[in-house]
A and B are shown apart, each in its own frame.
Chain A
């Protein structure tokens, strides 16, 4: 039993940590001890004005979650009596790899939040609790091996994010963003639920392995069950395509990303997407891993390939036309979903290599994208936010450190050496070429040229243009928390970019645990 607690420790650490954080938030007094907001008008909530300490606490909780994932990984989860919770929660190295990435991403987001919320006068303590509980949902999604736990985990993750988007209550944009994401998200969850119901009706199983075994036993005959399985599968895929914001299920993403406070945006772009990919790979390879369903003729690969090509191409073209950097980063995260789906497609022929490549890519992408949003946060201060490209003009000269950080993360997102993004891109493309999906790989490579254009635009504005006289310019904020998040992210991006060996091997081992 103790073993099992140890095996589940990433989940438990973060979950109980979240409860503690709630206590700390509820019992503590507002920092200014009057219960008033800084302008003295509104009585603010408990925990308000303490974003620095709560943020730090949340970061410690999440990083210890990462540390305990690593500990369980090293202890080998298979020996820890995890079959007791199987198939509802699958504690294997695959899920531990994801819980590690998710905890690191969440921890970086809370660090960013600690600086951002205070600067922008929305320092309300619930943000950190919400991040921690959403991360619990995300980790559970990585662990989930049963349609029921998938759904519960997905909702746990999403509910927190809905609230985090609308954190700035006075802003109509934030409200719009939250409502849009909430409505579409519930809709997608309902579709997914419907798919799950059909699958249960057809197969009599809710656990993924059971569904997989039943589908394998069907033998591909044209029967009612086969039709229901295929429809159920497509409905499930739609639900997940929504969470990873693949085109054409991406409509909510730019608005939600733009309207949300930037730390929330980075959490959505990194953690939510990573968790959705974790469950996507597991469902596709375990429940629908039947050779017929993995074939190009009669299964999910062409669907995934279409989503991939559409996501890459459309998102890249639209991203190139944006004038807002935050919106550009939102579209860029959609296009990265496209590259990742390319790796998912490759899993049809090479399940292990392709899922390892997707996992490695996700690790690099999460850190780089959080870093990019973090650098955007750092470049602006209250009333002088960095929103459009023009706001960034000349920042390379005025604030070289902020600009250098932004440049590093943008280069990583563009997939150029010596960064984590470069190896991630290489690995995904290698998997795609090895799976003999040449045209998909070529489309992906052409897309990364288009992508390079708008990433370079950031460099151009930061280093090569000067602000138009009189135009508003962004003034970088001062926050040790944001800076430390960026330093951690930058160190990781460069370390993975120069010496990727250790993480590559981890991804390979994790992918081997999936099948």
Chain B
């Protein structure tokens, strides 16, 4: 009886596939439907047959955490993207509702991540084999740093899509597909702890983003999407080389393949190799951030992208660069990251905070101005990371969230007047406060947050970054100049933002085209309201953010210092070595050498000779 029941349970996926295929309203005749159902069941058998049959190997699970939560958050949008392909193009309403429901469920699911205190170690960890013969595992987990970025994305994507539905009326199906795909890939990149998996998601983001810029963008959309694509591709190829090199070095020491972050983190490479691997990763991330001198794709991409695309780009995509720097550059190349930080901090202050601000000041296009302000703000974030102090890194992460909220809101608001006037030139406006009072109030408020006025979220982050920079060891004698420079950058931010606000909203209303403008409508208000609320929530109660990230930031800073010491102790060596396991919650889920001799060994035999 038991065997029968087990057989019945094993049949369930095939039966479900069959029933779904059978009920698909494609064909009328029953035998045609039967054939479609059989094909569906066979494809399930095909997929299950290909799936590596190694048992799921879950690291120390925390009983209060549901292991599949991250899988749900990552794969729900990806599966929904595939489902969108099969939904009818003729009913945009269905497409929109479906996509919004999926993103809403994703957001609610991500709220559950806040249900547990982010204590030391990885949370919601899930590990299983993916391609055992290459040592690639599906390993996802979050800590106090990535949880906020996950939440930021699950919040921003529905808002961006909601805004897009307002202004984009054509090719809704592609829009829904691109947003869902992009969202799933971003989620995946934030939670991956396997370098290979991270790289897959990192690359997977590219195509949907170029579609968003290229299909619904402005006049120069194609140039902008080429630029975005080639810059990102160039960075990621060098990262791939570094990943493959590190996996190979690990293999030659330990004798098995793995791309796991926790395992490769233990490598202490000789100076040259460490520097080049750091450079490969850092290039990919600094292009994405973007940091001077790799920032030139950003203004084009932002200006040409539709409003929804700009929001995603500013709020989430750029954060992948900064997140990647914390997680991978600071996590795996502590020595080179420490040594390079003074130089890079100089670039962040001069090239990011100052040059970005000055460029922003001179722009005549509002959206371009906001884009350059992103360069300046991300200069702050990077400065905080380079400082390598607890306050600096926490401030940088807070600032990442803030930038996502306030710049996302700014792009949204710029989109509102662009939809009405189809221009973004500052000179075309003036005195809008008279005709759009609510809009003006919101815009001024978001500007305040962007400038960093106390009481708004921007203040907390910038203050902590400057404080952390001041006491930084890694910057050495450059710490004080960098901190002073950054403080001046805050003043510059006020200069370019407020002068723009003054020219657009105040002064005489002398352009007759602006007299008939309608104020912000309820649809746009719904989109911007959560962002405005968060500006105050995080401005007044920053501890919501800080308390959850405290342990993770502490561990990051601590590991950075430890890793640097190990690296310096290893100086002059020509071969790599492996740091002993640290143990504890930060190494839960570390891969273990494969136990059984099987075909995988044959695959790797070549490298052993």
Q: Does B240 have its Cβ within 8 Å of any Cβ on chain A?
A: yes
Which of the segments B12-20, B350-358, B433-441, B596-604 contacts the partner chain? B596-604
Q: Which residues of B contact A417 (CB under 8 A)?
A: 200, 203-204
- Contacting pair A350 B174 (CB below 8 A): no
- Contacting pair A502 B237 (CB below 8 A): no
Q: Does B8 have its Cβ within 8 Å of any Cβ on chain A?
A: no
Q: Does B77 have its Cβ within 8 Å of any Cβ on chain A?
A: no
Chain B at the A interface: SS class: helix
Q: How far is the CA of A38 from the CA of B355 in the complex (A)?
A: 71
- Contacting pair B241 A495 (CB below 8 A): no
Q: Which residues of A contact B130 (CB under 8 A)?
A: 501
- Contacting pair A352 B606 (CB below 8 A): yes
Q: How far is the CA of A446 from the CA of B280 in the complex (A)?
A: 13
Q: How far is the CA of A356 from the CA of B251 in the complex (A)?
A: 18
Q: Which residues of B contact A459 (CB under 8 A)?
A: 207, 210-211, 214
- Contacting pair A509 B222 (CB below 8 A): no
Residue of B nearest to A495 (CB): B50
- Contacting pair B207 A505 (CB below 8 A): no
Q: Mark B197-216, 1 if CB is under 8 A from A, else 0.
A: 00010011011001100110
8 Å CB interface, B38-54 against A: 43, 46-47, 49-52
Task: Find the residue from A423, A426, A495, A512 having the highest chain B CB count within 10 A.
Answer: A426
**A429-B244 contact given A422-B203, A501-B50, CB 8 Å threshold:** yes
- Contacting pair A397 B244 (CB below 8 A): no
Q: Mark A330-374, 1 if CB is under 8 A from B, else 0.
A: 000000000000000000001111101000000000000000000
Q: Mark B215-234, 1 if CB is under 8 A from A, else 0.
A: 10100011001100110011
Q: Does A441 have its Cβ within 8 Å of any Cβ on chain B?
A: yes
Interface size range on B against A: 35 or more
Q: Which residues of A contact B600 (CB under 8 A)?
A: 505, 508
- Contacting pair B211 A463 (CB below 8 A): yes
Q: How far is the CA of A78 from the CA of B426 in the complex (A)?
A: 78
Q: Which residues of A contact B49 (CB under 8 A)?
A: 502
Q: Which residues of B contact A438 (CB under 8 A)?
A: 245
Task: Find the residue from A356, A445, A495 having the highest chain B CB count within 10 A.
Answer: A445
Which of the segments B106-114, B131-139, B385-393, B500-508 contacts the partner chain? B131-139
Which of the segments A23-31, A64-72, A157-165, A449-457 contacts the partner chain? A449-457
- Contacting pair A433 B244 (CB below 8 A): yes
Q: Which residues of A contact B173 (CB under 8 A)?
A: 400
Q: How far is the CA of A464 from the CA of B222 in the complex (A)?
A: 7
- Contacting pair A464 B215 (CB below 8 A): yes
Which of A354, A427, A442, A508 sits near B241, CB closer than 8 Å?
A442
- Contacting pair A449 B200 (CB below 8 A): no
Residue of B nearest to A350 (CB): B606
CB distance from B468 to the nearest CB of A (A): 36
Q: Which residues of B contact A216 (CB under 8 A)?
A: none
- Contacting pair A495 B606 (CB below 8 A): no
- Contacting pair A501 B241 (CB below 8 A): no
- Contacting pair B247 A430 (CB below 8 A): yes
Q: Which residues of A contact B51 (CB under 8 A)?
A: 499
**A445-B237 contact given A351-B606, A508-B133, CB 8 Å threshold:** yes
- Contacting pair B599 A449 (CB below 8 A): no
Q: Mark A259-276, 1 if CB is under 8 A from B, else 0.
A: 000000000000000000
Q: Does A210 have its Cβ within 8 Å of any Cβ on chain B?
A: no
- Contacting pair A449 B50 (CB below 8 A): no
CB distance from A357 to the nearest CB of B (A): 9
Q: Does B85 have its Cβ within 8 Å of any Cβ on chain A?
A: yes
Q: Mark B569-609, 1 if CB is under 8 A from A, else 0.
A: 00000000000000000000000000000011011111101
Q: Which residues of A contact B211 (CB under 8 A)?
A: 459, 463
- Contacting pair B609 A350 (CB below 8 A): yes
- Contacting pair B203 A416 (CB below 8 A): yes
Chain A at the B interface: SS class: helix
CB distance from B366 to the nearest CB of A (A): 25
- Contacting pair B134 A465 (CB below 8 A): no
- Contacting pair A500 B131 (CB below 8 A): yes
Q: Does B68 have its Cβ within 8 Å of any Cβ on chain A?
A: no
Q: How far is the CA of A352 from the CA of B600 in the complex (A)?
A: 12
CB distance from A23 to the nearest CB of B (A): 32
- Contacting pair B214 A434 (CB below 8 A): no
Q: Does B171 have its Cβ within 8 Å of any Cβ on chain A?
A: yes
Task: Find the residue from B131, B134, B233, B606 having the highest chain A CB count within 10 A.
Answer: B606
Q: Does A420 have its Cβ within 8 Å of any Cβ on chain B?
A: no
Q: Which residues of B contact A197 (CB under 8 A)?
A: none
- Contacting pair A350 B607 (CB below 8 A): yes
Q: How far is the CA of A350 from the CA of B131 in the complex (A)?
A: 21
Q: How far is the CA of A429 from the CA of B199 in the complex (A)?
A: 14
8 Å CB interface, A359-403 against B: 396-397, 400
- Contacting pair A499 B50 (CB below 8 A): yes
Q: Does A404 have its Cβ within 8 Å of any Cβ on chain B?
A: yes
CB distance from A65 to the nearest CB of B (A): 21
CB distance from A307 to the nearest CB of B (A): 22
CB distance from A227 to the nearest CB of B (A): 30
Q: Does B89 have its Cβ within 8 Å of any Cβ on chain A?
A: yes
Task: Find the residue from B206, B241, B248 having the highest chain A CB count within 10 A.
Answer: B241
Q: Does B561 have its Cβ within 8 Å of any Cβ on chain A?
A: no
Q: How far is the CA of A295 from the CA of B114 in the complex (A)?
A: 58
- Contacting pair B599 A505 (CB below 8 A): yes
- Contacting pair A353 B603 (CB below 8 A): yes
Which of B89, B171, B206, B230 sits near A449, CB closer than 8 Å?
B230
Q: Does B238 have its Cβ within 8 Å of any Cβ on chain A?
A: yes
Q: How far is the CA of A500 from the CA of B603 in the complex (A)?
A: 13
Which of A404, A418, A512 sits near B602, CB closer than 8 Å?
A512
A-B contact pairs, 20 of them (CB 8 A): A353-B604, A400-B173, A416-B206, A417-B204, A418-B204, A426-B240, A426-B244, A427-B134, A429-B244, A430-B134, A433-B245, A449-B230, A449-B237, A460-B222, A463-B211, A499-B51, A501-B50, A504-B131, A505-B600, A509-B602
Closest 10 CB pairs of A and B: A353-B606, A508-B603, A352-B606, A464-B214, A499-B50, A445-B237, A350-B606, A505-B599, A417-B200, A433-B244
- Seen from chain B, the residues whose Cβ lies within 8 Å of a Cβ on chain A are 43, 46-47, 49-52, 85, 89, 130-134, 171, 173-174, 200, 203-204, 206-207, 210-211, 214-215, 217, 221-222, 225-226, 229-230, 233-234, 237-238, 240-241, 244-245, 247-248, 251, 599-600, 602-607, 609
Q: A459-B211, A464-B215 are in contact. List 18 more A-B contacts (CB 8 A).
A: A350-B607, A352-B602, A353-B604, A416-B204, A430-B134, A433-B244, A434-B251, A453-B229, A456-B226, A495-B46, A495-B50, A501-B130, A501-B132, A505-B133, A505-B600, A505-B602, A507-B603, A512-B605
